[in-house]
Structures are given as structure tokens and as C-alpha cells.
Amino acid sequence: MARTLSFTDWLGSADAADYYSFTLNQPTSITIKSSGINQGPVIEFLNSAGSLFTYFTGSAYVYNLPAGTYYIEATSNPDISYSFSLTAKTIADKGGATLALANDLGPLSTSVQSISDWIGGADPNDYYSFTLSGATTVNVSLSGVVQPESLKLLSSAGNQIASSGATVLSNGSITQNLAAGTYYIAVQSGGTLTIPYESAYTLSYWTGMPTVGSSNLDGAGNTLAAANNIGILSSATFADWVGSTDTDDYYKFTVNSVSALSLQLSGLSTNTQLKLLDSAGSTISSTTGGVNSFGSLLANISVGTYYVDVSSSISTGYNLSMAATAIPDSAGNSLAAARNIGALGAQQVFTDWISSVDTDDYYSFTVSSTTAVDLELYGLTASSTLRLLDIGGSQLSSTTGDAHNYGAIKQTIAAGTYYVDVRYYGGENATSYIASASGTTVPDNAGNTLGTARVLGAMSSTPQTFTDWVGNADQDDYYKFTLSSATTINILQSGPAGIDQPTSKITLLQSDGTNIQYQYGQLSSDASLIYNLAAGDYFVDVSANSGDTAYTLSLWTGNPSVGTSASDGAGNTLATARSVGTLGATQRFADWVGSTDTDDYYQFTLADTSSISLLLSGVSAATRLYLERANGQLIASSSATSNLDGSLVYDLAAGTYFVDVLQYGGDTGYNVSMSATHLANFAGTSAATAPSLGNLNGIVASDVTGDGTSDIAWFSSSANAISFYQMNPLGGYTWHNIGGVAAGYTPLMGDFNGDGRSDILWSNGTSV
């Protein structure tokens, strides 16, 4: 059963880290997906002691975890809003974690038996036991791995008898003559990666020796030209012999589609070499089998003719098994052969594979208007690249995914035809993959040229406000306005907060498109323009400077009320600052600074973490706007001139702060406005204060009734409801059905009101 919890929160200068905790009562696959307005946060997984064991910065991450308590830490440098979802899926674990917990395989026989499981960072060792009633030959094979794994045969005391390694190119195998008794098989991670990757495997076991040939057999030719021609290979087994008088046995076969090839050489009495050759006789890969191990070769091969060579100068019979399985390939391998998935809209999901013999899978799609595309690549066993290409095949963006990290591309594109390329990253591993693609039409309410500009009509002192976006697929938004008489025009472009470089700019243009003035949006500062204009038509151009960005544009006429030299409502030092009180709704102050009154200070307090907005306008000379801490330390600054407002947008923790309006270029009246918006913060600011997400496997121990005894709560994702067993400290229990809410909501249990009883918070990620 899979469970998903979703959360939305924010990070920034006033809240540098968010913490969450959760528990697991059995091995579980955790998938965490995150997204931010400007860029995603860094997500770290911490163990119960708060120590880091893995992290990611992409859109999604998959990790297998054993039972226990864990923390998630999210951090970010710029201020961002972010969302993340956490999905927990219980995973089977058939192999015991220790010798004492070894899974008993029961009696072994000459029939091959198999069991499939996995090992990784959460489960590095799998143990199995078996008992023999008499002396026999035992065969063990380890296959299907995606990372190096070790196969070991152990005595009843746990001492190693034999070992073998398995890789993506060769199965691990052990053949051993054993006396009656109890033995163990260990499958262990053989990788040296800093973050251990999970690897599935299949363990096969049986008794006895395979049928082999003798020196009077020679069913295979001794040269390429005389090779035993099998024809189109499906599966075949051969018993034959090589030695001093017949050192090489050759087999010839063909495949008429891309295929997964498996070769196994067994029943040997001496070390014997197994080679896979191409049609010219050049070696593709090779391995050696021996008395206590099989020779094994695995490879993905393309259409063509191949040879197998079994060679030894010392006499030995052998058993050779060969199998080729066609691998479906539903995506084209070039732009011209790309799989056409049509007009992109609702999510489409595709499953396929790539390797050294099929390096690229191409998909083509169209969009009829500006569209936000969302591409994901996951389900990988090896590193792979996801690329978005234009109609000419030029790369627009790319990302890389692997066994733990999703590859994700989120980009806004204009109408047209595009390609998605899933590309093999190289190395030994072939990999299957899951690719998803979806597109959402993006409204574009402003024209992209002067000729198609959005007409706003006549401006007035009442602001007109518009929300839109600019980016790679829509570089410019144009607005046209009219002034019926000479006046001052005010233009303010804001949002989103927290950018760490200019992402857009506003430009004021004459009716013929000639530039009058421009301004960039900066870190913690909106873009603004103030200009005295004659009657006539004008344009405003909002243009993308770095990536996609949403914005809010406001336009109005007139000048704000400002003070005069006779005004002095604000103190001239921190100690004498004008008290604004607890900042909330917008407050405005008209005053004056100059040579005889260089600084005006305002003091405000925040009751909780808030986003504050400061706007300095109406000045006739250069003036500075400073935001300072209670001790006078500068936090941020902005400048205002007769043509530019000064603005600051900043997230602050609860506390006392100052605003300083500083004379810089001459005497001037000014108008300063201040406001604060509360920022809700669900997450804790440390591991100690992290809210518990509960037991992600569905069962939660919690004191629901407040009697001091933990009860057992159960969340059913299928019914979307909670029930609990009220535990009696003297024995027994009483079952209660709490019920549930609409689909899409998941519960969080905790004592939220401090009454000693567990409460239930239902959330769908955006509302509770």
C-alpha cells in the first residue's frame, strides 16, 4: 500500500531551514518530489540522530529505508515558496538481515528454484539457509543485478566456503560439493558508492551436475567457418568437450531484433574460457568458468550474426546454454523515426529501455499555443539523460536522472513541434525507464509586439493592475496606455520575491517604440518608473531577462503626498525613531529629509514571521531607503530618484526593526509606505521542533483518548478514513471508527491544542 502526504511552505532569510520527521515500521520505498517558484530547495535525509545520509537538489528522489525514525531538512539561499510530496510504499524483504533471521529455502532438488529480492543502503545483506540430508553438489546463481553484488556460500558457523561476484555483464555462480548439514547463502552489496544504490536480484539454486560431453563428442566446429550454425537464436543447450586435441568449439547464431543475450557455461572440470564474438570474429566480451563456478555472459545485442567460442587446452566436458530474448523498442532511434505522441496535454506515460545498442529514444509532440511542459524520467537503474529539443533538433534544456533521482524538465515553450530524447549515459548498464510528458496552456494576456500590445486606455490616479508572465517562450509583454494631458505616470512591476539576479525589466516607450526609461527588478526590490509625460500614447514593455517569471504590473498617474521642510514627524536617530507599532496593513507617512534633517527613522515590530514591503516615492532628489535590525545593522537597501521609486521586499522573523529614509542628493519631500503579511510556517526550524508526519506505513501509535496509554490508529488510503483501537491498560481494546473526508486528503496526528489528546489534521497540500 502506498501513502502520499503533501505540504506547502516557504524558506528564506527569516526561516533558513524547515524540518519534518516521520517513522517507518518496516522497509519502505520513499519517493519525495519537490518544486519551488524560482528554484527548488536542497532536501536532506537525516537519521534518528540527525546525521545526514543522503540529499538531493532535483525535482524528485527515491530511496529505500529500513524501519526507524527519520528527518527531512529543506534549506534554500533565496526566499522561495516550495511544495513537496512524500510517498511511502512498503517493500517486501524476503532475505533475512542476519544469519539468525535467514530465510529457510526448504529442501533443494535437481529442479531449479528461484527467489527475487533486493539489497541496498537500507538492507545491505540478505541471508538464506538450507539443509542437506546427504552429500551432493549444490549450485547457486545470482542474476538480474544492476549494481555489483557478492554471492557467498557459508558453513553453519557462518564461515565462508566459496564466493562469486555478479555484475550487469555476468551472473554470479557457485558450484560446490557439500556434505550433509546446514548451510547459508549470503547476497551482499558489492558496490563502493557513497550513497548505496538499491539493486534487485534473482537467486537460483539446485542440486546435481549438468549433462556434459566427452572426448569422443565434437558437435561444434573448430573454426569460425566450421561453426555449429544454430540459426535464429531463441534458446539452446549443448553438451560437448574441449581439450588439447580440440581447443575451441564455435557456435554461430543470428538475432533479427535487438535482444537480451544470456550465455552460461557449466559442468567444468578445469578453467574454461567463454567468448562472445561479432560477425568478424572480434571479441565483444569474455569470461572464465571453473570447477566451482559457471562462466556467464550477459549482453544486449543488435540485429546481426554472432559467434560463441568455448576454449580450453585441458580436457573438460561442458554444458553450454544460450538464450536470446527480443527487447521491445516502441520509441524511434532518430528524429525522423521519433514516436509521435500528438498534441501535448494530459499526462502521457511511456515505458521503454536504452543501452549501448539503442542509445536514444525519441518522442515528438506539438503544442498549439504557449504551453508549460512537464517532463519526467524515472524508474532507472543507471544514469540517463532527458533532453527537450526544438523542431530542428537543437537542445533547449536537459537533465540527468539515475536510480535515486528523477530527471525533470519544466519549461514554457511557444506553439510548434518539439522532441523529447531519452539518451543512454554510457557505462556497462542498460536501463529500463519510465518517461512522462504533460502540457498546460499558459494564458498570455499581453501582446508580444507593439502592434499587438494590450490596450489599457486612459490612465488615472486609480491604479490598474495586471498579472502575467514572461520567459523563454514569451520574451516581451507590451501594454499601451493613453494620457489625456501632461501628468506623472507611475509604473510598478513586482514579484516574485526572492530572486537572486535580475529576472525581468520594465521599459517605458514612446508611441513609435523609442526608449524613454527602463528599470530591472532586483534582489528584494521591485522595478519601478516615475516619469513626467506629455499627453499622448505610450507603451510599457515587460521583458524577460533570466528564465520564466510571473509578475504583477501596476500603472497610475499623479504624485503621492509628500512632506515639506516644516515636517519632522520622524526621529533623527534610532533612539528617537517614530513608532509605527506592530506592522500589518499598509501605513503611509509623508515627511521631508535634507541638509538640516538627513535621516528619518521609523520603528516597527513583527509579532511573527512576515513578508514586509517598503515603498519610497515622491522624491525630487536622490534618497536612500534602509531596512535595519534592532541594533542598527543593515539588512537591505534601495534608492529612489525623481524617476524611480525605492522599494524593498523582505521576509523577517518576529522582532523589532527600523526603516531609515536618508537624504542623499538634495532636499526632498517623500512618501514612505510600509506593510507586513504573515507567513505561515508549518515546518519546524530544527530537528527538535520538527512536526511528526506520523508512521508512513499507515499505523500510528498515539494517545487518542488522553488516558495516558498509547492507542493504535490506522489510516486506510483506499477508504480515506481513520479508525483506532482504544487500548485498555488492563488488557483488551475497543475499536472506534473516526471516519474521513474527501479523496485527496491525508491525515496528520498530533496534540495541536495541548490538551493531552491526539488531534487529526487533514491536508491536501494546499488546504486543511
> Is the preceding peptide bond at 124 cis, omega within 30 degrees of 0?
no
Pairwise CA distance, residues 325 & 342, whole Å: 31
Pairwise CA distance, residues 440 & 347, whole Å: 10
Residue 439 has a pLDDT of: 95
Domain 2-90: which CATH number of 3.40.30.10, 2.60.120.380, 3.40.50.150, 1.20.1250.20: 2.60.120.380
CA 176 → CA 272, 420, 521, distances in Å?
A: 17, 50, 73
Residue 15 has a pLDDT of: 82
Taking domain 578-678, whether its CATH number is 2.60.120.380 is answered by yes
C-alpha cell at 565: 521642510
- Say which amino acid occupies 231: G
Q: Which segments of the chain have a pLDDT < 70?
A: 1-3, 36-41, 57-58, 77-79, 190-197, 427-429, 495-503, 522-525, 546, 694, 697-704, 708-725, 727-733, 735, 739-758, 761-768
> Which numeric CATH code is attached to 228-326?
2.60.120.380
> Which numeric CATH code is attached to 99-207?
2.60.120.380
- On the question of a common fold for 2-90 and 454-557, the answer reads yes
**Span 720-763, pLDDT tens digits:** 666 666 766 656 667 677 766 666 565 665 555 656 666 776 65
Pairwise CA distance, residues 75 & 94, whole Å: 37
Domain 454-557: which CATH number of 2.60.120.380, 3.40.50.10800, 3.90.79.10, 3.40.50.300: 2.60.120.380
Element (H, E) at 62: strand 60-65
The CATH fold of domain 335-441: Jelly Rolls (2.60.120)
Q: Are 178 and 134 in contact (CB under 8 A)?
A: no
Pairwise CA distance, residues 342 & 363, whole Å: 10
Residue 566 has a pLDDT of: 87
Which residue has cell 521642510? 565
Domain segments of the chain as ranges:
2-90, 99-207, 228-326, 335-441, 454-557, 578-678, 698-763
Q: Are 270 and 290 in contact (CB under 8 A)?
A: yes
- Cβ neighbours of residue 343 closer than 8 Å, sequence gap 6 or more: 365, 366, 367, 368
Pairwise CA distance, residues 466 & 470, whole Å: 13
